[in-house]
Amino acid sequence: MKAIEIYKSVNSYISSNYSFLGLNKKREIERLVFEIFKKYKKIDFSILPKYINYEQFKRQLIKMRYPISYKYYPLKSFFLGKLDLDDDEIWKEDEFFEVDVVVEKNSNFIDIVDRLSKIYKIKSLNVVDSVKNVIKESTKNFNYNYRKRKFYILDEKFDFIKSCPCTSNCISCGYFIINLGFGCPFDCEYCYLSGYQNVDGIIINTNIYDYLKKIREMKVSSLLRVGSGEFTDSLVYDNITNHSSKIINFFRNLDGIVFEFKTKSDVIDNILNEKPCENVVISYSINPQYICSEFEHGCTTYKKRLECLEKLVKCGWKVAVHFDPIIYLDNWKKLYRECISDLFSFISAKDIRWISAGTLRFYPHTKKIIEKRFPDSILLDFEMVIDFDGKLRYPFLIRKEIYNFIIENIKKYNFPLDKFYLCMENSKMWKEISLSPSFKW
């Protein structure tokens, strides 16, 4: 049964049977009942508890929806925001071949536009004084699903390098980020960009040497890690920008800083054409095959990611792996056990500079966007509660079980735990799983 049908049926039932409730109370109940029916794939109003008073009714529904977390988390941890499904906002594969391109007159756009034109048909090319002014105007009411049809090409003027904002109350891994662009063409269902991006196209910054100059000026007292995969995939547009070659050759001669390309793409030709160097690492986000094909739309397939890792290692590159976000499904143990086994059948522990793990997480407003874009997905069916940093996460005990399981499995392949870290987790979790935050990049 489609989620939208469940939604309509629940909406009509609540309106007629609980008409005495105020708007906000009706919305809370509507969400809980919808999520219960969706999770169990069945509409059955007879299972609802008897209404005596609102607080008791709500508590009983929360207990049905969150049987594990209900025991450990206060009521305010359960997200009960308005449910808002709309047929028009459902994600569909965007088969596009033509793109609009807006370039800033003073940027080095010529080569980039030339390479873009070899991949897409350019429908329009506008040269403007300031791309930021154009973005401001054209971004009103944009549809996130169509962002790939437009490119903005410009020079970044201020925002060159910054410390990763991580998340509040977390142990930070000391990462620094450079944003060489903004926007990603992939459609991972869980992607925080779907709730964050406020630009109606993909931004590509051309002035790579200004970024590298800023990095050179940094005062480095201990080994730093810098990466470019926060607001976009580090490599997906590398065949258009060619940034990777310049980055590699810059870092090759720089002590004290490790650079990380973080990707789910197979655009590694420029890297393979360079001589490997110790302080440049190419990392892949890996999930089990089922999860890649079910939730990571448009990304390079599971097998291809493993093959890319293997190819990079064979050519002498150092690689890293992120199990992130780890997604809880009924058979998650089997899926992740197989995934780890596959990983170590393609490459060996000694070739991996680090492995990170992080479970699914996002802010509550992103949950509403995921529901709208992927209403029938099972991604959100398991329990997620508002946790220490205001993000929705799996309950603590489940996360702990997941991390212990990942650790136990990577240890089987002799992967050293001083090269393993948790992404965006608090100190309580590190302590519980007996990990010490002593990163060795």
**DSSP reduced 3-state for 324:** strand
Q: How far is the CB of 295 from ligand SF4 (least distance, A)?
A: 9
Q: Give the one residue of 62, 116, 188, 370 binding ligand SF4; rule: CB under 6 A.
A: 188
Q: How far is the CB of 13 from ligand SF4 (least distance, A)?
A: 36
Nearer to ligand SF4, 190 or 394 (CB): 190
Residue 186 is a binding residue for ligand SF4 (CB under 6 A): yes
| Cα–Cα distance, 149 to 385 (Å, whole number) | 35
| Cα–Cα distance, 37 to 391 (Å, whole number) | 24
For 281, what's the count of Cα atoms within 13 Å in the CB-facing half-sphere?
23
Q: Give the one residue of 184, 240, 369, 410 binding ligand SF4; rule: CB under 6 A.
A: 184
Residue 384 is a binding residue for ligand SF4 (CB under 6 A): no
275-278: long-range contacts (C-beta < 8 A, 24 or more apart)?
Answer: 276/315, 276/316, 276/317, 276/318, 277/248, 277/251, 277/252, 278/318
Q: Give the one residue of 29, 61, 193, 235 binding ligand SF4; rule: CB under 6 A.
A: 193
Identity of residue 126: N
Q: Which stretch binds ligand SF4 (CB under 6 A): 113-121, 136-144, 186-194, 418-426?
A: 186-194
Residue 243 is a binding residue for ligand SF4 (CB under 6 A): no
Q: How far is the CB of 28 from ligand SF4 (least distance, A)?
A: 30
Q: How far is the CB of 264 from ligand SF4 (least distance, A)?
A: 4
- Residue 61 dihedral angles phi and psi, to the nearest 5°: -70, -40
Nearer to ligand SF4, 28 or 187 (CB): 187
Q: How far is the CB of 186 from ligand SF4 (least distance, A)?
A: 4
What does DSSP assign to residue 206? Answer: -
Identity of residue 350: K
Nearer to ligand SF4, 27 or 361 (CB): 361
Q: Return the H-helix or E-strand segment holding 28.
A: helix 23-40
Identity of residue 219: K
Residue 361 is a binding residue for ligand SF4 (CB under 6 A): no
Nearer to ligand SF4, 291 or 299 (CB): 299
Nearer to ligand SF4, 358 or 395 (CB): 358
Q: Which stretch binds ligand SF4 (CB under 6 A): 181-189, 251-259, 266-274, 416-424?
A: 181-189
Residue 233 is a binding residue for ligand SF4 (CB under 6 A): yes
Please say whether the beta carbons of 391 and 365 come within 8 A.
no
Q: How far is the CB of 184 from ligand SF4 (least distance, A)?
A: 3
Q: How far is the CB of 19 from ligand SF4 (least distance, A)?
A: 42
Q: How far is the CB of 428 from ligand SF4 (least distance, A)?
A: 26
Strands 361-362 and 352-359: unpaired
Query: From residue 16 to residue 55, what is the string marking binding to ligand SF4 with x (rule CB under 6 A)?
Result: ----------------------------------------
Q: Give the one residue of 191, 267, 312, 329 binding ligand SF4; rule: CB under 6 A.
A: 191
Query: From residue 246 to residue 285, what is the string marking binding to ligand SF4 with x (rule CB under 6 A)?
Result: ------------------x---------------------
| Cα–Cα distance, 228 to 234 (Å, whole number) | 5
- The residue among 5, 36, 81, 3 whose CA lies nearest residue 377 is 3
- Residue 251 dihedral angles phi and psi, to the nearest 5°: -75, -25
How many residues touch ligand SF4 under the rule CB under 6 A: the total is: 9
Q: Report CA-CA distances (Å) from 215 to 51, 156, 237, 260, 280.
A: 62, 14, 22, 14, 14
3-state per-residue secondary structure call for 122-181? EEEEEEECCHHHHHHHHCCCCCHHHHHHEEEEECCCCCCCEECCCCCCCCCCCEEECCCE
- Which residues between 289 and 308 bind ligand SF4 (CB under 6 A)? 299
Nearer to ligand SF4, 65 or 264 (CB): 264
Q: Report CA-CA distances (Å) from 326 to 345, 386, 390.
A: 20, 17, 19
Site of interaction with ligand SF4 (CB under 6 A): 184, 186-188, 191, 193, 233, 264, 299
